[in-house]
Amino acid sequence: MAISTNQVLGNMGGDSYSVDHAVFLNFASREEGTSSSITNRIMLKCDTIGISTNRNVPSFPVPFSGLVRGESTTIAIDLGIASKSVQLGGVITDQIISKQKGSEPPINVSMTAQEVAQLIASSVDSSFLQNMQNLNELIILYPSRVGNNYDYHTGVDANTKHADLPLVPFTWKSRTLDEAGSVATGDFPNPSANEYKGITGFISQFGFEFVGGQLISFTLSFTESIVASGSAIKDAITG
């Protein structure tokens, strides 16, 4: 079900049992089945979002090329290597935290901002074995007009206001037309999907400050990756 910026803003100040933020972190346990939009998830209010894509193309100068051509030449070998990361900055607020283990009923509690900060810090200090702790997916929603086939989303045209556009999660996926020459490509985000698929990886840094009488500010760095920790490795470690 597609949601817009206006709908997210409209959810703020309510019972907080629906999406009222545009940035959130998912626990690995969310993959086991959810009962609501906030289950096994932490919401973040971000003032700044920095997204970095660093391409690594090995290159080296060709010996004697300047002697022959009067101009030196460099050869680059494009091996399709890039590193991707996200830097977040903002504030942490009081919120409803809903935790659910497997098919058990969810536990809903109202946590203070300080408790949420501690929860994130303890989660960063964990591994893939603790799926109720491991924050392995970052979702950043942004307004989108154009879909997977370079056509407008349903109910959207060139004049639709930003606040009314459907929100999709940021990924490095490409639209179908741009995937020419690619094999085993992923799907570009669909605003009508039942579950958002964001950026998978790990939190490499998390810091926050307790300052009397002020909101709790935080910084967070998230590295995109496919963590080499599948069920086979987990089973091998735990026996």
Q: Within a domain: residue 67?
A: no
- Confidence (pLDDT) at 232: 40
Whether 173 contacts 145, CB under 8 Å: no
Q: What are phi and psi of 164, to 5 degrees?
A: -100, -5
The two structure tokens encoding residue 44: 């973040």
Instruction: With respect to residue 46, please indicate whether it lies within any of the assigned structural domains.
Output: yes
- Grouping H, G, I as helix, E, B as strand and the rest as coil, residue 164 is helix
Side chain identity at residue 112, one-letter code = T
Residue ranges in the chain modelled with pLDDT below 50? 13, 230-233, 235-239
Look at residue 50 in the predicted model and tell me its pLDDT: 97
Residue 123: enclosing H or E segment and its boundaries? Answer: helix 113-124
Amino acid type, 200: T
The pLDDT assigned to 217 comes to 95
Closest among 87, 44, 24, 40 to 216, alpha carbons compared = 44
Q: Are strands 216-224 and 167-169 parallel, antiparallel or unpaired?
A: unpaired
Residue 212 has what DSSP assignment? Answer: T
Range of the domain at 161: 5-53+80-238
Of 173, 113, 112, the C-alpha closest to 144 is: 173
Whole-number Å distance between alpha carbons of 89 and 217:
7
pLDDT of residue 33: 65
**pTM metric for this prediction:** 0.83
Beta strands in 93-160 (DSSP E): 95-99, 107-111, 135-143
Task: Check residue 11 and give its pLDDT.
Answer: 65
* Distance from chain centroid for Cα 222: 8
Q: What's the pLDDT score for residue 81?
A: 85
> In this structure, is residue 72 part of a structural domain?
no
For residue 109, being part of any structural domain is answered with yes
Domain count of the fold of the chain: 1
Instruction: Please check whether residue 62 lies inside any domain of the structure.
Output: no
In one-letter notation, the amino acid at residue 228 is: A
Give CA separation, 203 vs 121, 125, 151, 176, in Å: 10, 10, 34, 30
Q: Is residue 93 part of a domain?
A: yes
Q: Cα separation of 231 and 22, whole Å?
A: 31
